[in-house]
């Protein structure tokens, strides 16, 4: 996985427009969801890593999104579900671009254990861009703030 800052930055720039304001947080949540449900277990309790095998797969995440959507008020359920799905999809697309030395992602779990990746970069490569991501977000927020102050 790329780091969560990279995932967040991608989600941020896709939904920074005010048109997405209402459900932007749900989209962000979707984009970090695959990692926040599995990686803490993997890192803090590595012996339990085998229990997280399913958690980063499209089928599991699809069901998890449906489960989480059920926790929202019925009037906003449809929007929440769509934004969650889109967020998760963005996460998986970024993960698909990576390469791993061993292992990979089980896109067709539980039907197949085959892994596939496009292999453009190592998981830790985007870390080098951390200052760039932070600067871009701060600059964008600065521009929006100035525009708001000027009433544009």
Partner 1 sequence: MSLRVRLINNGRQFRIVVLLTYFIAMLLLIFYGKNFYPAITLEMCLNQPERYDGSQIDIGTEITVDKIYQDGFTIKQFGHIVKVKGRAENMEPGDFITLSVVFHKDGWLELKSYHIAKKRRFKIAVSIFPALLVIYLLLKSFSFDFKRFVFEERH
Site residues for partner 1 per CB under 8 A = 3-5, 7-8, 22-26, 28-29, 32, 35-36, 39, 42-43, 46-47, 49-55, 57, 59-60, 63-64, 66-67, 70-73, 76, 80, 100-103, 109-110, 113, 122-124, 127, 130
79 burial (CB, 10 Å; 0-12 / 13-18 / 19+) is: middle
Instruction: Give the C-alpha separation, 143 to 92, whole Å.
Output: 30
Instruction: Give the C-alpha separation, 11 to 25, whole Å.
Output: 10
CA 14 to the chain's CA centroid: 12
To partner 1, the closest distance from the beta carbon of 15 in angstroms equals 11
To partner 1, the closest distance from the beta carbon of 14 in angstroms equals 14
Of the pair 78, 124, the CB lying nearest partner 1 is at: 124
């Amino acid at each position: 996985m790329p780091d969560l800052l990279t995932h967040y930055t991608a989600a941020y720039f896709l939904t920074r427009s005010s048109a997405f304001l209402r459900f932007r947080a749900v989209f962000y949540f979707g984009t970090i969801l695959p990692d926040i449900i599995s990686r803490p277990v993997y890192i803090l309790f590595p012996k339990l890593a085998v229990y997280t095998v399913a958690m980063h797969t499209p089928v599991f995440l699809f069901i998890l999104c449906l489960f989480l959507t059920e926790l929202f008020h019925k009037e906003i359920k449809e929007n929440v579900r769509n934004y969650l799905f889109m967020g998760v999809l963005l996460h998986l697309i970024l993960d698909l671009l990576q390469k791993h030395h061993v292992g990979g992602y089980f896109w067709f779990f539980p039907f197949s254990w085959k892994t596939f990746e496009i292999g453009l970069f190592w998981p830790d490569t985007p870390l080098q861009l951390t200052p760039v991501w932070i600067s871009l977000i701060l600059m964008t927020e600065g521009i929006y703030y100035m525009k708001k102050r000027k009433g544009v």
